[in-house]
Structure 1
Amino acid sequence: MYGLVNKVIKDAIFQRYGETAWQAICKRIKLEDDIFVNLEPYPDELTHRMVAEAASYTGQSIPDMLMEFGRHWIEYNAVHGYGDMLKLAGKDLYTFLSNLDHMHAGMSHVFPELRPPSFRCERLGENQLKLYYRSERQGLQAFVVGMVQGLGEYFDTPLEVKHTGPCEKESICEEFIIDIKV
Structure 2
Amino acid sequence: MSKDKILTEALSLFASRGYEGATLSELASRVGMKKASIYSHYKNKEEIFWAVIDCAYQEEIAKLSTGMKEVQHLAFRERLHNMMDQHVHFYKENDENANLWRRMTLFPPQDFKEGLKAKLLEYEQQFNEMLEQDLDRAIQSGEIREVNRDTGLAMINCILDGLFVEYSYYDDEEFNKRVEAVKVMTWRAFLPAGKEAE
TM-score band, normalised by the shorter chain? 0.3 to 0.5
Rg larger in structure? 2
More strand by share: 1
TM-score (norm 1): 0.34
TM-score computed with the length of structure 2 as normaliser = 0.32
Larger helix share, 1 or 2: 2
